[in-house]
Amino acid sequence: PAAWTPVCSGQWPGYNIVRDIFEDNETALIGVSVDNLPTLFAWTREMGGLWFPVASDFWPHGGLAKKLGILRSDGTAERALILV
């Protein structure tokens, strides 16, 4: 999973459907991707923007994903929803 891939490009805007549920439960949604910032900026703009912030886990590459155990050997991250 990465920016511009079909599933992620459909899944992330889909969170608009449940925005009220997140807000009613005072829960923050933060998208994280191993893509770099220019890529994430262009991708989220292409999707029409998102109501939640998107963070880059590009450098050190996949550092957060690795700590969470979801970094793949090809450098992409597993698709995951992690509640903290």
Average pLDDT, the chain: 95
Domain segments of the chain as ranges: 6-68
Q: What is the pTM of this model?
A: 0.88
Whether 84 has a pLDDT exceeding 90, the answer reads: no
> What confidence score (pLDDT) does residue 52 get?
96
- Burial of 7-36, coded b for 16+ CB within 10 Å and e otherwise, reads ebeeebeebeeeeeeeeeeeeebebbbbbe
pLDDT per residue over 30-66, tens digit each? 999 999 999 999 999 999 989 999 999 999 999 999 9
